[in-house]
Structure 1
Amino acid sequence: MVTMAEARAPRRPHEGEDIRRARRGRRSRASAREAAAGWGFVGPALVIVLGLTIFPGIWALVLSFRTWDGFSPPESVGLQNYADLMSDDALRAAVLHTLLYTALFVPASVVLGLFLATALNRRIRFVSLYRTAVFAPFVASAVATGILTTYLFSPQFGLVNNVLRLLHVPPQGWLESRSEALVVIVIMSLWGQAAFTTVIYLAALQDVPLEVIEAATVDGASRWQRFRHVVWPHLLPVTAFVAVYQTIEALQLFDLVFVTTRGGPLDATQTIVFYIWKVAFHKLQFGYGSAIAYGLFLVTLVVTILVTLAQRRAARKDLR
């Protein structure tokens, strides 16, 4: 029971500040415990990821200034490996093949993904089944896609040539033709990767405000006008992301080429990454292969920055 004297006794001037400090200390200790628990869960996976990315990247950078066959001691050569990049005809051909593949694949994947997403962004029967069917090729492994490619486009027993024979059209060489093999790689890449762009665009289309579209409809805008002036501005940031992502994927194409053509016929489908694998693990020139890999990294970084800046500038102009 508090007496009148105790009630009238003045509080210490710093008593309230001490209480607030004690509360802040308890909150900080609780936050520290939560952070420690979080890092305890994330830490092992983070160590593995960094170990599989940072260490190989640093080691490849060191090797790019040396010659090493994997057995004998490495020898320092300075910038010679990077100088050899300029005079390598096989690398130049691989760069041209990769650029041609990128020029065919990236716009086609963006347009096809946008078309499929627009078609699936409707209230129709079995729409969930259609969406699953479109996305299924994306989760298929590159080995499965390569086996399917070989089966479909085999010049002798392929399904595509059998259909052409029924239509009285001369069969094509496909994977055995220098002029057609890269086109087949693009087609099968679209079969697998267009699902990714479709899902991204579908999510973006569902975020477009319906009231804005309805207002445009009331104002008499046609379907194309609604898409051009209402929907498309909302899709520009997504388009920038998709273009950058697909460009990086195109520049790093390896698995589908490895499973189907192994760079043939006559190196017609040899891409940069496949050439890096060939130089490093076939010719055992790990230093030169590392130099090519870092050259590809710099090119990818520059392309990513340029595409992002171009898309942002286009978005600003469109919003104006």
Structure 2
Amino acid sequence: MSAPAAPAVITGTSRGQSVRRARRVRESIVGWSFAGPSTLLVLGFAIIPMGWALRLSFTDSDLVTGGQDVGLDNYRALAQDPLFWEAIRNTLTLMAIYIPVSLVSALLVAQLLNKPIRGIGVYRACFLAPFIASKAAVGLVMAYVFDKDFGVLNGLITSAGLPAQGFLDDPSQAIYVIAAVFVWTQLGFNVVIYLAALQEIPKEVMEAASLDGAGPVTTFRRIVVPSVRSVTLFLGVWGLIDTLQFFDLILTTTKGGPVNSTITIVYYVWQLAFDFFTAGYGAAVAYTLFAGTIAVIGLVLLLGGRKGLLR
């Protein structure tokens, strides 16, 4: 009687394995039915174009013809390209202004908006609106506001008896005006993230600080700022990426001028590909930017991890 029992055990085990295998197949089909379209979009609009651009960077293609292989000549030419270095300087200037100003101002605004006052939702929406608005539309409006001859701002300045300013037409002012507009458009995003972080600070901690006699400045410096350091690192990295990819406001306002004073890396890539028809060289600039971005972000995250900012 013991001999016939073995096949029954084997059969039951095999049937269980078949059921589990069929369940995994069904789950995979369901999962890929949801993830498949997004995967195809990422593959079609990101991975494949990245590979094609990498191949393009080793040619002298003009986007019309395939071009000839030039090896590393495009990358070697970067060292002797004054416009490339001008674009790097302008991008770094924009970054040096945007990141600290946007982080500090966003944290201060978020602290003010983290109050149970009447109509607080309206105030929060006012700060978020510029971020939601189309950057192209914002650029067109700002080009009018800062116009040297007919701009609204210069009208207010001259009506106060002060001399008109060049703003976007002045090489010494244009990059700072662009930076100010950039901060204004992105401030709402930083405020929302900081606001969410501030609401995670336990109320008991704030109440204890108040009972201990800590004033608003001391509470902000000793409790609020340390509590949001990981969020600050995140927003700093996000701002770094945004600055390195800065393009739309330049296109709709200054177009890199005056005298290349506002040309940025991404705008220079666009010029190389679609104005100068040197797509191969433009792809080399783009991949140099990509490598530099990865290196800088990796360094920031490494330093942040060592200082405990990622916890």
TM-score range, shorter chain: over 0.9
Matched, 1:82 2:75: yes
Structure 1 position 69, deviation (Å): 1.4
Instruction: Tell me, yes or no, if the aligned pair for 2:230 and 2:309 is still in contact at 8 Å.
Output: no
Amino acid at match of 1:130: Y
Is 1:257 matched with 2:250? yes
- Equivalents in 1 of 2:114, 2:17: separation in Å? 50
Query: What is the CA distance between 1:40 and its match in structure 2?
Result: 0.6
Greater alpha carbon shift after TM alignment, 306-315 vs 231-240: 306-315
Equivalent residues, number: 309
The offset of 1:168, in angstroms, is: 1.4
CA contact (8 A) 1:236 1:315 kept: no
Letter in 2 for 1:285: T
From 57, 70, 78, give the equivalent of 2:63.
70
CA distance in 1, matches of 2:165, 2:303: 39
State the alpha-carbon separation in 2 of the partners of residues 229 and 58 from structure 1: 48
Matches within 5 A, 1:204-283: 204-283=197-276
1:199 deviates by 0.6
Whole-Å separation in 1 of the counterparts to 2:81 and 2:188 = 36
Structure 2 distance, partners of 1:47, 1:178, is 44
Partners of 2:9 and 2:199 in 1: how far apart?
Answer: 52
In structure 2, C-alpha distance between the alignment counterparts of 1:24 and 1:168, rounded to whole Å: 86
Q: Match of 2:283? A: 290
Matched, 1:308 2:301: yes
Letter in 1 for 2:150: F
Give 1:149 shift: 0.6
1:98 aligned partner: 91
Pairs within 5 Å for 1:112-191:
112-191=105-184
What CA RMSD, in Å, does the superposition of the two structures yield over aligned residues?
2.3
Deviations 1:188-209 (A, max 9, x none): 1111101111111001111111
* SS at structure 1 position matched to 2:105: helix
TM-score w.r.t. length of structure 1:
0.90
Query: What TM-score does the superposition give when structure 2 sets the normalisation length?
Result: 0.92
The alignment partner of 1:66 has SS state of coil
Report if aligned partners of 1:60, 1:290 keep a CA contact under 8 Å in 2. Answer: yes
Identity %: 40
How far the C-alpha of 1:13 sits from its partner, in A, is: 8.5
Aligned partner letter, 2:27: E
CA distance in structure 2 between the aligned counterparts of 1:315 and 1:43, rounded to whole angstroms: 38
Distance in 2 between residues matched to 1:210 and 1:204, nearest whole Å: 13
- What displacement does 1:316 show? 6.0
Contact 1:101 1:182 in 2 (8 A): yes
Number of the residue aligned with 1:36: 29
**1:133-192 CA distance string (max 9 Å, x none):** 110111111111111111211111111111112221111011110011111111111111
Provide, for residues 205-225 of structure 1, a one-character-per-residue CA deviation record: whole Å limited to 9, x for no partner.
111111222223233333233
SS in 1 for 2:308: helix
Contact 1:243 1:307 in 2 (8 A): no
Aligned to 1:7: none
Alpha-carbon distance in structure 1 between the residues aligned to 2:283 and 2:143? 31
Q: Could you say if the C-alpha distance between residues 316 and 304 of structure 1 is closer, same or farther in structure 2, counting changes exceeding 3 Å?
A: closer
Amino acid at match of 2:242: E
Using the alignment, how far apart are the partners of 1:237 and 1:270 within structure 2?
Answer: 32
Question: In the superposition, relative to structure 1, how do residues 220 and 313 fare at CA in structure 2: closer, same or farther (>3 Å)?
Answer: farther
Q: Whose Rg is larger?
A: 1
Distance 1:243 1:307 in 2: 9
Q: How far apart are the structure 2 equivalents of 1:247 and 1:266? A: 25
The letter for the 2-side match of 1:134 is F
Which one is further off, 225-234 or 78-87?
A: 225-234
Once the two structures are superposed, what CA deviation does each residue of 1:226-249 show, in whole Å capped at 9, x if it has no partner? 222322222111111100010111
Quick check: 1:262–1:270 contact (8 Å CA) kept in 2? yes
Deviation, 1:16, is: 8.3
Q: In terms of mean alpha carbon deviation, does 141-150 or 211-220 score higher?
A: 211-220
The answer to whether 1:193 aligns with 2:189 is no
Q: Mind listing any 5+ residue stretches in structure 1 that lack a counterpart?
A: 1-11
Say whether the 8 Å CA contact 1:64–1:81 is kept in structure 2: yes
